[in-house]
Amino acid sequence: MILLDGKKISAEIKNEIKKDVDSYIKKGYRQPHLVAILVGNDPASTFYVKSKMKSCAQVGFKSTNLNFESNISEERLLEEIKKLNNDEKVDGFIVQLPLPEHINVNKVLAAIDPEKDIDGFHPFNLGRLILGMDTFVPATPLGILEMMKRYNIDTKGKDVVILGRSNIVGKPLAISLVQKQYPGNATVTIVHSKTENLNVKLRNADILVAAIGMPGFVKENMVKEDAVVIDVGINRVEDKTKKSGYRIVGDVDFENVASKCSFISPVPGGVGLMTVVSLLLNTLKAYKNRYGI
């Protein structure tokens, strides 16, 4: 079993980004600038935004966090997005999800300038993804693809089963992995809460991606011998031995599944770190596009 070490490869990628940024600064360009909009104070969202800001600093990006009260009106949020769209000094921005219920998430995402849409959630960019055109691939799928590349995981002709049909992970990853490219050329199945004979389908997976947000859901009997298992889950479970009172676990019962796998990504230390680094890659891409460099 080989561990898909997100800590190691995300650090490698950050070094590569930093070198790139340093070379642009030397040539007289300004720093790449990422802005994150956070509505409300959900602890998980606050943590994610903080770690995105911290990673920006590590690679020499400027970052700004715009934090709004959870009762901000949809109209006001759309105005803020318009300002960022028009701000020459902003290369890319994200609206951290989920948003409060009174805000129409699709309307908000569609208001983002596709050229600054570093999350790749705008319908225009998702359309380009389906068509196999150059685009901002959403950060978690992009991180998984990069992880596959760096470990030379063979995807051609393989049965990939993705557990979870979210717009952020399951659907864009499925689209990417059927494209005529590497990683891709796979036979992809998305399974979800209404899927019949779930275990049979999961056991058929050469590559299993778990993205449903249920701690330890994937058990040993659901995984084929020598499968590649990629765990996207970031779940908090109570742990009184920790100062915080909780610990983070994935969607896979790692302890019992790991020995069966050819490759497996741990939680923490796996896909989560790749997601953050992919957002940096998308920001750098937006910055380069802006200057034609």
**Does 168 participate in binding ligand GUN (rule CB under 6 A)?**
yes
119/206 with CB nearer ligand GUN: 119
Please, what is the minimum distance in Å from the beta carbon of residue 118 to ligand GUN? 9
- What is the distance between the alpha carbons of residues 173 and 154, in angstroms, rounded to a whole number? 16
Interface residue with ligand GUN among 39, 94, 145, 267 (CB under 6 A) is 94
Out of 5, 14, 91, 96, the active site residue is 96
Please, what is the minimum distance in Å from the beta carbon of residue 168 to ligand GUN? 5
Backbone angles phi, psi at 82, to 5 degrees: -60, -40
Q: Is 87 a catalytic residue?
A: no
Sign of torsion over alpha carbons 59, 63, 69, 71: negative
**Does 95 participate in binding ligand GUN (rule CB under 6 A)?**
yes
Q: Can you list the positions of beta strands (E) in the chain?
A: 2-3, 33-39, 62-68, 92-95, 159-163, 187-191, 207-210, 228-231, 235-238, 246-249, 263-264
Residue 125 bridge partners (DSSP): none
CA-wise closest residue to 170 among 180, 179, 160:
160
Please, what is the minimum distance in Å from the beta carbon of residue 1 to ligand GUN? 28
Please, what is the minimum distance in Å from the beta carbon of residue 252 to ligand GUN? 18
Number of residues that bind ligand GUN (CB under 6 A): 8
- What is the distance between the alpha carbons of residues 15 and 30, in angstroms, rounded to a whole number? 19
Please, what is the minimum distance in Å from the beta carbon of residue 64 to ligand GUN? 15
End-to-end CA distance of the chain: 41
**Does 109 participate in binding ligand GUN (rule CB under 6 A)?**
no
Residue 111-130 contact track with ligand GUN, rule CB under 6 A, x = bound: --------x-----------
Q: Which residue is nearest to ligand GUN (CB)?
A: 97
Q: Is 119 a catalytic residue?
A: yes
Q: Report the chain's C-alpha Rg in angstroms.
A: 19
Q: Is 96 a catalytic residue?
A: yes
Interface residue with ligand GUN among 55, 140, 155, 282 (CB under 6 A) is 140
Interface residue with ligand GUN among 10, 96, 265, 283 (CB under 6 A) is 96
Spatial strand order in the sheet of 33-39: 62-68, 33-39, 92-95
- What is the distance between the alpha carbons of residues 76 and 46, in angstroms, rounded to a whole number? 21
* Spatial contact of 121 and 168, defined as CB atoms under 8 Å apart: yes
Binding segment toward ligand GUN, per CB under 6 A, in 93-101, 182-190, 204-212, 280-288: 93-101
Residues that bind ligand GUN (CB under 6 A): 94-97, 119, 139-140, 168
Tell me which residues are annotated as active site: 52, 96, 119
